[in-house]
A and B are shown apart, each in its own frame.
Chain A
């Protein structure tokens, strides 16, 4: 067991010292609920092999994009509040999904289901990453998996 760990450590070390950084950051299933009002919400999942923070977003289809979080009150109420950054790292995937963290697209253009929208996500370490988000029916923003109660 210990020997395996040592080997793994050596491999990791080698990987980290190679010229191309081994840091890997992936963004899965970027999607936007088709807006009915002035704003829309964007969701996706980020996996990163290094500690990082999502600090912002921008897109041409909205005046502004902000990081928001839906908060659940003890009395069954729900509200939204802006968030400065969402952390992500090894063993800590960043999941943006309805009823929780989301990118709020403020004063958004009309978007039709099926359309794709370019959105630039800004990470503290990984820098700017552009993704193509698909506009989906709001009922389908909950993602591929069945929504489970928390």
Chain B
């Protein structure tokens, strides 16, 4: 039983190694690489134009970066977003087939207009998503990050949320996470590598 389960895995590894040809392995990634890449989850939220955004379908075959945050927090997200924007500028061919998605965990204050305005400050290609609180919670659970929660009261509440950016390669697998403090050179190195992993059904 054990042995037969191992065999397909071995075949898969071999196929992957062959497919990667160029030598993309998790050892070359500088982000926090997963021991074993995991498949992309699915959830549906609403984009800044008010259209439904089916995550798995809309990002199929693309290098996909995902971050949960909120625009009132000026300390963490701007660094992440500015670094990704800078990487997109440096690697235009990578940017063409990549998506950066920012999901708000503060739908109350982050209206679609607020989200759009703020993402445009970094890169107008960045996608902003929002939804009802229960939809946002479901999305975070599907992705496997701790669900954000509100702290404090009144207008000045803050939100405790996952601090990392998650990266799925074009083959739909999550290879690595990028916590706060990731260097610009790591982004450039990893996004270039991840974008070279061919889509599942080329």
Residues of chain A at the chain B interface (Cβ within 8 Å): 33-41, 68, 70-73, 75-81, 98-99, 102, 104-106, 137-139, 141-142, 146-147, 149-150
B43 on the A face (CB < 8 A)? no
CA of A98 to CA of B78 in the docked complex: distance in angstroms? 10
CA of A41 to CA of B82 in the docked complex: distance in angstroms? 14
**Shortest distance in angstroms between B48's beta carbon and chain A's nearest beta carbon?**
14
With A77-B146, A78-B161, A81-B158: A142-B79 Cβ-Cβ less than 8 Å: yes
Interface size counted on chain B using CB atoms at 8 A: 37
Q: Can you spell out 28 A-B residue pairs with CB atoms less than 8 angstroms apart?
A: A33-B74, A34-B121, A36-B121, A37-B72, A37-B74, A37-B114, A38-B71, A39-B74, A40-B74, A68-B75, A76-B145, A77-B146, A77-B148, A77-B162, A78-B160, A78-B162, A81-B158, A98-B75, A98-B76, A99-B79, A99-B180, A104-B75, A137-B82, A138-B78, A139-B86, A139-B184, A141-B78, A149-B181
Q: Given the complex, which residues of A lie within 8 Å of B78, measured CB to CB?
A: 33-34, 36, 41, 138, 141
Given contacts A76-B146, A79-B158, A102-B74, 17 further A-B contacts (CB under 8 A): A33-B78, A33-B79, A37-B114, A72-B163, A76-B162, A76-B179, A77-B146, A77-B148, A78-B180, A79-B160, A81-B158, A99-B76, A105-B74, A137-B82, A138-B79, A139-B79, A146-B183
CA of A73 to CA of B74 in the docked complex: distance in angstroms? 18
With A37-B72, A99-B75: A77-B161 Cβ-Cβ less than 8 Å: yes
Q: Given the complex, which residues of A lie within 8 Å of B75, measured CB to CB?
A: 41, 68, 70, 80, 98-99, 102, 104
Within 8 A of A (CB), among B69-85: 71-76, 78-79, 81-83, 85
Q: Given the complex, which residues of A lie within 8 Å of B152, measured CB to CB?
A: 81
Within 8 A of A (CB), among B138-174: 145-146, 148, 151-152, 156, 158-164
Name, among A102, A138, A150, the residue most crowded by chain B CB atoms within 10 Å (CB to CB). Answer: A138
B53 on the A face (CB < 8 A)? no
Residue of B72, B85, B145, B159 touching A39 (CB-CB under 8 A)? B72
Contact (Cβ within 8 A) B161 A147 = no
B122 on the A face (CB < 8 A)? yes
CA of A142 to CA of B80 in the docked complex: distance in angstroms? 11
Q: Given the complex, which residues of B lie within 8 Å of A41, measured CB to CB?
A: 74-75, 78
B118 on the A face (CB < 8 A)? yes
